[in-house]
Amino acid sequence: MRHPLNIAVAGLGTVGSGIVRLLAENAKALERRCGRRLNLVAVSARDREKDRGVDLSGVRWFDDPVKMAKSPSVDVVVELIGGANGPALAVVEAAIKAGRPVVTANKALLAHHGTELAMAAERKGVQLAFEAAVAGGIPIIKALREGLAGNKVSRVYGILNGTCNYILTEMRRTGRDFGEVLKEAQDKGYAEADPSFDVDGIDAAHKLAVLSAVAFGSRVNFKAVHVEGIRHISALDIAFADELGFRIKLLGLAARREDGIEQRVHPCLVRLGTPIAHVEGVFNAVVAEGDFVGQAVFQGRGAGQGPTASAVASDLVDIARGVSVPTFSVPAKALDSARAVPMTRHTGAYYIRLMVTDRPGVIADVTAAFRDQKISLESMLQRARDPKEAVPVVLVTHETRESSMRRALAKIAALDTVQEPPRVIRIEEP
């Protein structure tokens, strides 16, 4: 039996309380697996008096998490404060500097400082572990960094934000519009009072930047992620997608291409029958494509106390067992600085919905704009006919380049028969 692993937790919100609970409830199982005890020895949070429903007796309280991170009685620091900078960054930097491994669930921190922190940690010979930062309880970081390490990964993508997936699922199930469902999600606690981080795709983009670094062994490049959220998705588009045999999902996608790495977060049409199309509600899923394994799909709860605590615990188990692998799958100083492929060079099929005045020649004008950009159409839907009001026309294209699509759409948007800005959703093939 080796000496216990002494754990300090900074931040006692939902996830922090969760890991405290897990370490207590599963203490015996963890000890069997690690051959040593996992001891919570110190915590730090803003409010010492708050009742968190967990037993902290015998645990040392620190008002200053940075001081805690430097304390010699601590073997590993768990950072659950959140935020890309401020105290979270200070705690992680202090712990690494003091030669202590760090476990964090903080995707914003990693998206902004991941490469530098990994370099610092590896110089000190300590782990920087972050299974909980991406896709909650799904052990996708370990899968990419270790389980699929024999492969050259060509693409990794998934549903990385449970709030958006919940909203899109509810919109489809009930036929209601975005605003109404968002309000309900907020009331239920599935969405924040300020929902922007989730619904505008930023949270998914943070996670994608981390996932992409691990999958491709490249430096974290959050700035290169093309980000669109789900605010403009309407009940009408969800209904049309359904009719065409698709679901609308907010996906984060990273792909290695000849000219660099493409990273993008935006709503996608995914074909019914593909695994990702059937992942509903607050669930997350990640698909990884490797040259030998083919497609592997990982699915589970993407957030919440239990799943996130499970991920934090798996990192603690690794540390207790002495498992140490390169932070982003290759040593930080050897990470590629892969070129970022701009969104204009993206190629794919597109779903376009126009609201047009129903009069002769409209379709001819629209299709001419596509023809001029050498974009060919796969199908067209026009349901209602109404000479007085704008009617929806839905077009699905074959594969084309984003730049050509943008030129065609600029022309179409300028037609006086087109009443609203065209709605465009990219189609993602498996």
> How many Å apart are CA 312 and CA 326, to the nearest integer?
18
Inter-residue contact 375 to 412 (CB < 8 Å): no
Q: Which is nearer to its own copies, 142 or 426 (CB)?
A: 142
Exposure class string for 260-295: b at 16+ Cβ within 10 A, else e: bbbbbbbbbbbeeebebbebbebbbbbbbbbeeeee
Q: How many other CB atoms are there within 10 angstroms of residue 162's CB atom?
A: 24
Inter-residue contact 88 to 79 (CB < 8 Å): yes
Nearest to 222 by CA among 206, 203, 211, 198: 206
Q: Which is nearer to its own copies, 260 or 275 (CB)?
A: 275
**Minimum distance of its own copies from residue 322's CB (angstroms):** 8
Q: Which is nearer to its own copies, 196 or 295 (CB)?
A: 295
- Strands (DSSP E) along 276-322, which ranges? 283-290, 294-301
Residue ranges in contact with its own copies by CB under 8 A: 18, 22, 25-26, 29-30, 32-33, 35, 131, 137-139, 142-143, 146-152, 217, 273, 275, 278, 290-301, 306-307, 309-314, 316-318, 321-326, 329-331, 334
Pairing of strands 260-271, 128-129: unpaired
Q: Which is nearer to its own copies, 229 or 290 (CB)?
A: 290
Q: Which is nearer to its own copies, 157 or 298 (CB)?
A: 298
Q: Calculate the dihedral angle through the C-alpha atoms of 329, 144, 339, 401, rounding to the nearest 10 degrees.
A: 180
Burial of 315 (0-12, 13-18, 19+ CB in 10 A): buried
**Minimum distance of its own copies from residue 300's CB (angstroms):** 4
**Minimum distance of its own copies from residue 309's CB (angstroms):** 5
Q: How many other CB atoms are there within 10 angstroms of residue 364's CB atom?
A: 8
| φ and ψ of 120, to 5 deg | -60, -45
> How many Å apart are CA 206 and CA 255, to the nearest integer?
16
Inter-residue contact 134 to 107 (CB < 8 Å): yes
Active site residue 70: no
**Minimum distance of its own copies from residue 256's CB (angstroms):** 11
**Minimum distance of its own copies from residue 409's CB (angstroms):** 35
Catalytic annotation, pick one of 107, 207, 249, 374: 207
Q: How many other CB atoms are there within 10 angstroms of residue 63's CB atom?
A: 10
Query: How many residues make up the chain in this entry?
Result: 430
**Minimum distance of its own copies from residue 157's CB (angstroms):** 15
* CA distances in angstroms from 343 to 225, 245, 266, 390, 398, listed in the order given: 9, 26, 11, 31, 18
Q: Which is nearer to its own copies, 275 or 348 (CB)?
A: 275
Half-sphere exposure of 279 (CA within 13 A, CB side): 28
**Minimum distance of its own copies from residue 34's CB (angstroms):** 8
Secondary structure of 32-55 as H, E, C letters: HHHCCCEEEEEEECCCCCCCCCCC
Inter-residue contact 183 to 171 (CB < 8 Å): no
**Minimum distance of its own copies from residue 11's CB (angstroms):** 18
Catalytic sites, residue numbers: 207
